[in-house]
Structure 1
Amino acid sequence: WRALRDAVSSMGVDSATGYARHTALVASQMRLLGDVADRSGLMLDPEPGSYYLMALVVDTLPKVSELMGQSRALGALYLKRAAITPAERAGLQALLDQLARQSAELERYTANVRDSDPALASSIDAARRTAEQSIKDASALVRSVLIDPEAPAAAPVPYFNTMTGHIDNLFKLTDASFAALDTTLGQRIAVDQRHVIVVLITVLLAGGLAGWFMLTISRSTVRTVASAQAAAEALARGDLSHVVRAESNDEIGRMARTLGDAMQQLATLVREIKATGESVGTASAQIAAGNNDLSVRTEQTAANL
């Protein structure tokens, strides 16, 4: 681009060569723009409205601007020399035919944007109407001063300036479209960021709840194990009055409660055995007393005899 600019500024190339080099440069830049759009995923936008507007600014508008730029350059060249050959006139007509097709594509894309996202379409509506009118006016100008007359007679500078104004209107539509896309994508990013924040908060809350639940279970299990251990130690000491407290309902909790029940049953059995032993002792004492009494009476009876 700098080499071409310097060559044109220093008059190092003629008009035809400069036009050819400029056209080739623009074509390479348009291919680069398409590659950037493809590789970045811009052309895979999931929302219909922004997808159609993206296609408009990446594909159609650059082509329309280039066709109008070629018509401006060639037209100014032909007007400057005040002559145009049939082949050159046919070439201009071919440019206008391509411009008409691209203009139809522009209208189709903008209609699709309007149908898919009216708010997005309204943000570029004024620039769109101006650009569409500029395309029509530019085509009419080329036809009226270069194609229809037998020989071009208009001044080249006013023609060049008028075409430049029409091209600038296309650039204004491009700028408005990029601004609308920037706003739309920015809003979408903000929504996605809020969704990410909500998901993160949900995950953190779920993680905290799970951690609290695990900690509660762990503490309950530890207390149950400690209670079971204390019961076993009490049983080893012969202390059957120890009360087992089991908070959990898992295997450890059930084991601890079973141990507690066993200790209670054992304590009951011991009490019953103790009571029975006491009863036997009382009976033995009574029998011994009876025996003594019988012995005394026997002695008294023997003495009396």
Structure 2
Amino acid sequence: MQRRLKAGYLLPNPATLHSFVKYRLGVEGVERLMHLVGEAIVLWAQEERVGIIDSTPIEASRYDRYALFHPHYQVKMDKAHIFHLGPYPLTMVYSNGTDADLTHLFPLIERVEALKPKLSLVLLDTGYDSYEAHAHLWYHLNARPCIDTRDGAVIQEEGTEPRIRHWVNKLWRAGGDIHAPLTQQLRFLYQHGRVEQVGMHLRNKNLLDPEFPTLIQSRGECERIHGRIKASVTFHLKGIRHESRKLYMTLNFVAYQILLLFGLRAGLKNPTHLSALV
């Protein structure tokens, strides 16, 4: 069935469109669409250089039999782990509501790496504070990892430059060169299993940087973005069947991405304000 608009264009019946998305595209197809829209956002927002990673709760009904109760948020929920390029959400990973954020970081990094954004730094909260997270972000996204550190964080001796050179020299048979630039030495160590040591070095740099607390403060922008997403599209689980949740939440995320992409292509100064018109 089709509907004809006054201008003469044909639109599919909503039921036909719904069937196509759910049974032909499915989660895999919608995630592919999310990737394509993310690529377009990267192309049209080339001036953005700061990435932000954070999760946001996707609230379910208190009577939901499948969603898990999260003691911090005091609700039953699932989670969306989102990467933002400045104010623009590029991609997301869907998970159970009680999953630790860190467990979904590397799959998210893989998706972002495939989009090839040009980043200078990536901001994250303390839930991601690990040596491996620092190293993976730096190596795969070619950006400075700015992860808010936990209380009591101290400089790790193994991450100092003398220890970096020591291990590069120790691995000379594998091609280690202590005369190479430090960045090259760090990449060498990462590629040869010294991931934690690379992460220690990067974390040490943040602890020693007096500007680091100021940098990390701008991470709060993502909370406002999450609020705009939830104000613009359905981003909760109430009334949605368990087996369809990942599909519909990803699809609604893509709808918000497309809204911002229209604003970018139209040359709007702040496309994120389009959400107020929805």
Higher Rg of the two aligned structures: 1
Taking structure 1 as the reference length, what is the TM-score of the superposition? 0.23
Q: Which has the higher contact order (CA 8 A, sep 6+)?
A: 2
The structure in which a higher percent of residues are helix is 1
Taking structure 2 as the reference length, what is the TM-score of the superposition? 0.24
The structure in which a higher percent of residues are strand is 2
